[in-house]
């Protein structure tokens, strides 16, 4: 569902990426100069970017050749202060409009709750948390699962230069993410699998045909 909420303003029932698709293909008369997704109430760090609706909306913009900026505040407190994140979003938007982003690249920005004023460009971190499922029943007796995360090892050292390391140090993290996640080294390293797979498929066809003949 799409609801007009004001002049040139809409609310869409769907994922953030759905909102971008509908806006670009139906609602806007011409493509925007920039799509800013967020500010999300909570972090989007490490491997969580694969599940993030905030990052997904910025990614969808880049897929449609529109610069994408994903903004997140690393806090889930009800009275969180969004002012620093808003200032960073504004300045980042101004830089993107002035200098642009590389092709197929979106910018994922995370601002710590207690920001010390430093800003760093970072790599995406490896997963440092484990998913915790808490099972329960709602008032109607239906099963539900509450998802949360906890650190894999509270004493582990974070890789320097990563988004998690920056946030834990009180620094704002800027991570450029590329649309193409292909691991190019594996294209060569695993290339011999193609012939092996093709051989197994041909062999299975031959065996199946031979079995059909004997069945007759």
Q: Omega of the bond prior to 66 within 30 degrees of 0, cis?
A: no
pLDDT of 179: 97
Instruction: Using alpha carbons, select from 184, 174, 152, 159 the residue that is nearest to residue 44.
Output: 174
**Is pLDDT of 27 > 90?**
yes
Instruction: Give the pLDDT of residue 33.
Output: 98
Look at the chain and count its residues: 216
The pLDDT value given to residue 156: 63
Mean pLDDT, the chain, integer? 91
Give the Cα separation of 64 and 24 in Å (integer): 8
Residue from 109, 116, 119, 54 nearest 86 by CA: 109
The pTM for the full model equals: 0.85
Please check whether residue 171 is in contact with residue 120, taking contact to mean a CB–CB distance below 8 angstroms.
Answer: yes
């Amino acid at each position: 569902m799409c609801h007009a909420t004001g002049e040139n303003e809409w609310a869409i029932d769907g994922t953030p990426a759905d909102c971008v698709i509908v806006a670009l293909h139906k609602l806007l008369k011409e493509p925007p100069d920039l799509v800013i997704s967020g500010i999300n109430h909570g972090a989007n760090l490490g491997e969580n970017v694969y599940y993030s609706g905030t990052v997904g909306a910025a990614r969808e913009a880049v897929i449609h050749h529109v610069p994408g900026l994903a903004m997140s505040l690393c806090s889930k407190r009800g009275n969180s202060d969004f002012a620093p994140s808003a200032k960073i979003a504004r300045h980042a938007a101004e830089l993107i409009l002035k200098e642009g982003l590389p092709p197929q690249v979106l910018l994922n920005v995370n601002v710590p709750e207690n920001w010390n004023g430093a800003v760093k460009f970072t790599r995406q971190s490896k997963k440092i948390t484990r998913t915790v499922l808490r099972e329960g029943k709602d008032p109607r007796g239906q099963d539900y699962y509450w998802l949360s995360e906890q650190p894999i090892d509270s004493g582990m050292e974070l890789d320097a230069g990563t988004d998690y390391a920056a946030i834990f140090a009180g620094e704002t993290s800027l991570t450029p993410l590329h649309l193409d996640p292909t691991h190019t080294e594996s294209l060569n390293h695993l290339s011999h699998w193609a012939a092996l797979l093709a051989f197994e498929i041909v062999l299975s066809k031959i065996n199946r045909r031979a079995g059909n003949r004997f069945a007759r």
